[in-house]
């Protein structure tokens, strides 16, 4: 850590990701005997829940954005379009040195707005989602061993507070990698938004016969439990990439269908061999 | 159980399914203090493995098919095309009363051959596969709570030995349901063969970015570890149904792609709501 350490954080959006971050950071600081103050904001909290959330890593539940001027780091942890709205709302309370990061699943749209508003902003995407939601499902180990995308220009990435933020993510076991926003959205249309759509589509396509399903379909179906509330924002902010990826994958399936119909088993065998190899790679990575 | 109890079984094919059946039946009979004799056949076994396999629920490793005349039940537990070849080979050793069942993933092709050979045959498909293979991965609880398809004509299903066989499957916790072979192959093209192809296709489509994958893609990818040896038979014996299902699902994805590109979020939200409901149904079933 540098001299300009991050000691006070505000998290806006207290769902699975926001509260898991709070719990993970508090636990890591406590283990090192360091002090950290985290305040949390969430418009959707009823009064009775405001007390309970204080057991989830927060030092204070807050509703007045003017206190944001006092913190080192602001984390936007709601769905992306809500994060964009919040960013516009809080801009006037931020000091020029305040670092703002988000935890949304798409990066180009929010980074465009941050640039327009001239906010000191780092786009982040922790690859640690779940079909489960809400602070009750939060977990301080959610980020351990998980990749986390970091989007920012090179100049910013050299600044002390940004380095401190990356160190904060490493402190809780996450594995940051730097990527530009456009590439991020292209890649995640493939490795995240496509699996979600496949899961939803296949469970609906097989609706009549779910009582006969084995573990294969069951694993495939897990993501179909995901909330539209989160995904509507992802589709709205990564529309073209997702449409392109779905169309290309649809073509791939049509081509496999043609091969099977024609009895062209060499092509299918090749697809299986590659599948086996890629599965091994994926397993090696997750078992590290 | 009826008077005509099944007390001797031969299992031809000692992979995951065959050895799991042997272990499950032995454990169930032992628990009830009943006697059972299981012999196993497998051409692919080296001499050194023939000893080890005797720890996996078998009373004897056998290679001479003439002993099949002495057993109540023969189970074909290799991939479907090998089962078909075996059925033709063993026909002349079977007594007319011997019941033969298979455990293959497609049913129409093998049942056509059984009819042609005039063998007393029940088609079975335990929905208990895995991407893992081999007797070393066998598990006596593999069938507990799992559906198992039973294909046979009504007349046969009323016979004592066939009822005994269904009871044998219930004894190890499986949940038999009766379905005709054509419907079986249509249904499983959707709920089993489609998920397999999606898993293989997506892991290949995302090959370059697997290092950034989250748990969503990881769950989706599990089936891509499956062996071509098993699947080549499934594709060869359910060719048209699988080609049709893949083409139809490809169309569904193309249509979702069009909706996303056009910003038609009502249609996508509807798809998500149905997905959520179907996911709940699936979870309820598997948690029973």
User: How far is B129 from chain A, CA to nearest CA, in Å?
Assistant: 8
What mean pLDDT is predicted for residues A244-254?
98
Q: Name the nearest CA neighbour of B16 among B83, B85, B78.
A: B78
Cα distances (angstroms) measured from residue B251 to each of A59, B99, B129, B159, B246: 51, 43, 28, 45, 9
Q: What is the pLDDT of residue A148?
A: 96
- Say yes or no for a CB contact (<8 Å) between A253 and B201: yes
What are the boundaries of each domain within chain B? 8-179, 184-287
Q: Verify whether the Cβ–Cβ distance B207 to A274 is below 8 Å.
A: yes
Distance separating alpha carbons of residues B149 and B101, to the nearest angstrom: 12
| pLDDT greater than 80 at residue A193 | yes
**What is the reported pLDDT for A131?**
67
Do residue A191 and residue B204 have CB atoms under 8 angstroms apart?
no
Q: Is the pLDDT of residue A84 over 70?
A: yes
Sort strands B147-151 and B121-126 into parallel, antiparallel or unpaired.
Answer: antiparallel
Q: Please give the residue that has the higher pLDDT: either B239 or B229.
A: B239
For residue A169, the model assigns a pLDDT of 97
Backbone angles phi, psi at B64, to 5 degrees: -95, 115
pLDDT at position A288 over 60: no
Residue B49 clears pLDDT 90, i.e. is over it: no
Provide the token pair at B4: 């005509």
The answer on pLDDT for B28 being more than 90 is: yes
Contacts 24+ apart (CB under 8 A), B133-138: B133/B15, B133/B16, B133/B227, B133/B230, B134/B15, B134/B16, B135/B14, B135/B15, B135/B16, B135/B18, B135/B19, B135/B53, B135/B56, B137/B16, B138/B16, B138/B19, B138/B20, B138/B22, B138/B23, B138/B56, B138/B57
pLDDT per position as a tens digit, B156-180 = 999 999 999 999 999 999 999 999 9
Q: What is the CB-side half-sphere exposure of residue A93 using CA atoms within 13 A? A: 18
Provide the pLDDT for residue A285: 79
- Distance from the Cα of B61 to chain A's closest Cα (Å) equals 31
Pull the structure tokens for residue A216: 């294969």
Which tokens is A260 given? Answer: 């099977």
Q: In what order do the strands lie in the sheet with B60-61?
A: B60-61, B37-41, B8-12, B73-76, B99-102, B121-126, B147-151, B175-178
- The residue to which tokens 């024609």 are assigned: A262
Q: How would residue A224 be classed by pLDDT, with cut points 50, 70 and 90?
A: very high
Question: In the predicted model, is pLDDT for residue A273 greater than 70?
Answer: yes
If you count residue pairs, one on A and one on B, with CB atoms under 8 Å apart, how many are there? 287
Phi and psi at A227, nearest 5°, equal -85, 135
Measured from the Cβ of residue A102, the count of other Cβ atoms closer than 10 Å reads 28
Residue-wise pLDDT tens digits, B70-117: 999 999 999 999 999 999 999 999 999 899 999 999 999 999 999 999
Would the CB atoms of A187 and B209 count as touching at under 8 Å? yes
pLDDT at A256: 97
Instruction: Tell me what pLDDT residue B4 has.
Output: 58
Percent of chain B residues past pLDDT 70, beyond the cut: 97
The answer regarding whether domain B184-287 maps to CATH 1.10.3660.10 reads yes
Interface with chain B: mutation pick from A279, A281, A286, A288, highest number of B CBs within 10 Å: A279
Q: Please, what sign has the CA dihedral across residues B137, B143, B144, B146?
A: positive
Residues of B in contact with A274 (CB under 8 A): 200, 204, 207
ipTM value for the complex = 0.88
- Dig out the tokens for A1 from the structure: 């850590």
> Which of helix, strand or coil describes residue A196?
helix
How high is the pLDDT of residue A47? 87
Cβ B275–A204 below 8 Å, yes or no? yes
Contact criterion met (CB below 8 Å) for A193 and A234:
yes
- Considering chain A, what is the average pLDDT of its residues? 94
A8-179 shares its CATH topology with A184-286: no
Give domain A184-286's CATH number out of 1.10.3660.10, 1.10.645.10, 1.10.15.40, 1.10.1740.10. 1.10.3660.10
Whole-angstrom distance, CA of residue A227 vs CA of residue A245: 21
| Mean confidence (pLDDT) of chain B | 94
User: Of all residues in chain A, what percent carry a pLDDT higher than 90?
Assistant: 87
- Answer for the pair A197, B267: CB distance below 8 angstroms, yes or no: no
- pLDDT at position A4: 59
Answer yes or no: is pLDDT of B1 > 70.
no
Q: Is the pLDDT of residue A1 over 60?
A: no
Fold assignment, B8-179? Rossmann fold (3.40.50)
Using the predicted structure, report yes or no on whether residue A53 has a pLDDT greater than 60.
Answer: yes
> In whole angstroms, what is the distance from residue B137 CA to residue A34 CA?
48
Per-residue pLDDT, B132: 75
What pLDDT is stored for residue A127 in this prediction? 92
**Residues 6 or more apart from A130 whose CB is under 8 A from it?**
A16, A137, A142, B215
Is the pLDDT score of B288 beyond 70?
Answer: no
A137-159 CB burial, b ≥16 within 10 A, e <16? ebebebbeebbbbbbbeeeeeeb
Cβ-in-10-Å burial (0-12, 13-18, 19+) of A3 comes to exposed
**Where does the pLDDT of residue A145 fall: very low under 50, low under 70, confident under 90, or very high at 90 and above?**
very high
Largest CA distance in chain B: 68
Interchain CB distance below 8 Å, A196 and B216? yes
Element (H, E) at A73: strand A73-76
A49 or B220: whose pLDDT is higher? B220
Instruction: Give the Cα separation of B7 and A188 in Å (integer).
Output: 56
Q: Which position has the higher pLDDT, B92 or B4?
A: B92
The pLDDT, as a whole number, for residue A270 is 97
**Whole-angstrom Cα distance, residue A87 to residue A123?**
12
Q: How close A172 comes to chain B (CA, Å)?
A: 17
CB contact under 8 Å between A204 and B146, yes or no, is no
């Amino acid at each position: 850590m540098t001299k300009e350490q991050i000691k006070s954080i505000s998290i806006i959006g207290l769902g699975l990701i926001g509260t898991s971050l709070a719990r993970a950071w508090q636990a890591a600081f406590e283990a090192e005997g360091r002090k950290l103050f985290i305040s949390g904001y969430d418009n959707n909290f009823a009064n009775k829940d405001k007390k309970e959330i204080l057991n989830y890593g927060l030092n204070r539940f807050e509703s007045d954005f003017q206190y944001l001027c006092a913190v080192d780091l602001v984390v936007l942890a709601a769905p992306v379009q809500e994060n964009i709205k919040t960013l516009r709302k809080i801009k006037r309370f931020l000091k020029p040195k305040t670092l703002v990061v988000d935890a949304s699943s798409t990066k180009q749209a929010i980074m465009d707005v941050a640039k327009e508003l001239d906010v000191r902003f780092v786009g982040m995407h922790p690859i640690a989602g779940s079909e489960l939601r809400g602070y009750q499902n939060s977990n301080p180990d959610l980020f351990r061993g998980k990749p986390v995308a970091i989007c920012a220009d090179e100049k910013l990435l050299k600044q002390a507070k940004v380095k401190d933020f990356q160190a904060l993510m490493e402190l809780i076991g996450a594995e940051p990698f730097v990527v530009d926003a456009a590439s991020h959205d292209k890649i995640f249309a493939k490795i995240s938004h496509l699996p979600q759509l496949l899961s939803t589509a296949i469970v609906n396509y097989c609706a009549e016969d779910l009582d006969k399903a084995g573990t294969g379909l069951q694993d495939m179906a897990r993501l179909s439990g995901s909330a539209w509330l989160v995904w509507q924002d992802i589709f709205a902010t990564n529309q073209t990439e997702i449409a392109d990826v779905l169309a290309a994958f649809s073509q791939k399936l049509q081509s496999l269908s043609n091969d099977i119909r024609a009895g062209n088993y060499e092509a299918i065998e090749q697809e299986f061999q590659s599948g086996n190899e890629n599965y091994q790679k994926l397993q090696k990575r997750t078992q590290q």
